[in-house]
Amino acid sequence: MERWTPLVLRELLLGSHHFNQLRRGIPQMSPTLLSKRLQTLEEAGLVSRQSGDNGHWEYHPTQAAMEAWPIIDAMGYWGHKWARSQLTPDELHAGRLMWNMRRSFDLEHVPCDFVLYIEIADARQKRWWFVVKRKEADLCWNDPGFEVDISLYASMVTLVQVFIGDQPLLRACELGKIEIDGPNHLVKSMPAWFPRSKYAMRRLLAADQVLAS
């Protein structure tokens, strides 16, 4: 399996259907290569490319691709558990982290709609906005113009550690690694909705079961 292929499939299976959605999900991959990969996947019967309403292509996973989910998922879980420590700083790409966080808000525990601003001091692109609503969370690369309700300042590594469950959000705050500004009721509720990798959740559940047994 060639480079990037699992990530492309993952993005497709998680609901990215347009070229630039896929790009946002895999920012380190060149558009040339993404285009080529999509062609290859189409020829292999994993992607169907349909003409969308606006004259552009829409990419959808085929049945074969959907049934490849157990592979992708197992790879994600394994990588989360075993490849994590080998992450080099330049592999920590802010855009990719944000894009993954976008998918991981626990919308059921969001107390109200709000705008979350995140500033990452040591990232190339430092400023990010999430527009969080009951039914979905949107990610913005530029100031969307809405008033910011809650702001968060942290380094890249800290954010990653929290996201993948290596460090609880509250602990990072106590250590001064994360600074948060916002109204009390929103700040208090953060642990309930702040995005965390599904693999982190799964590990916590596994740990709970061990403890409960």
Q: Which of 13, 14, 33, 186 binds DNA (CB under 7 A)?
A: 33
Among 18-26, 88-96, 149-157, 198-206, which window interacts with DNA (CB under 7 A)? 18-26
Q: Which of 15, 49, 56, 67 binds a copy of itself (CB under 8 A)?
A: 67
Q: Which of 68, 101, 156, 162 binds a copy of itself (CB under 8 A)?
A: 68
CA-based nearest residue to 111, from 204, 182, 205, 196: 182
187 lies in the binding site for DNA (CB under 7 A) = no
Secondary structure (DSSP) of the chain: --TTHHHHHHHHHTT--SHHHHHHHSTTS-HHHHHHHHHHHHHTTSEEEEE-TTSSEEEEE-HHHHTTHHHHHHHHHHIIIIIGGG--GGG--HHHHHHHHHTT--GGG--S-EEEEEEETTSSS-EEEEEE-SS-EEEESS--SSPP-EEEEE-HHHHHHHHTTSS-HHHHHHTTS-EEES-HHHHHHHHHHS---HHHHHHHHHHHHHHH-
Restricted to residues 36-55, the positions that interact with a copy of itself (CB under 8 A) are: 45
92 lies in the binding site for a copy of itself (CB under 8 A) = no
71 binds, among DNA, a copy of itself, none (CB under 5 to 8 A by kind): a copy of itself
Restricted to residues 35-64, the positions that interact with DNA (CB under 7 A) are: 35, 38-39, 56-57
64 lies in the binding site for a copy of itself (CB under 8 A) = yes
Among 24-32, 119-127, 147-155, 160-168, which window interacts with DNA (CB under 7 A)? 24-32
75 lies in the binding site for a copy of itself (CB under 8 A) = yes
Please report, as ranges, the residues that interact with DNA according to CB under 7 A: 2-4, 18-20, 29-35, 38-39, 56-57
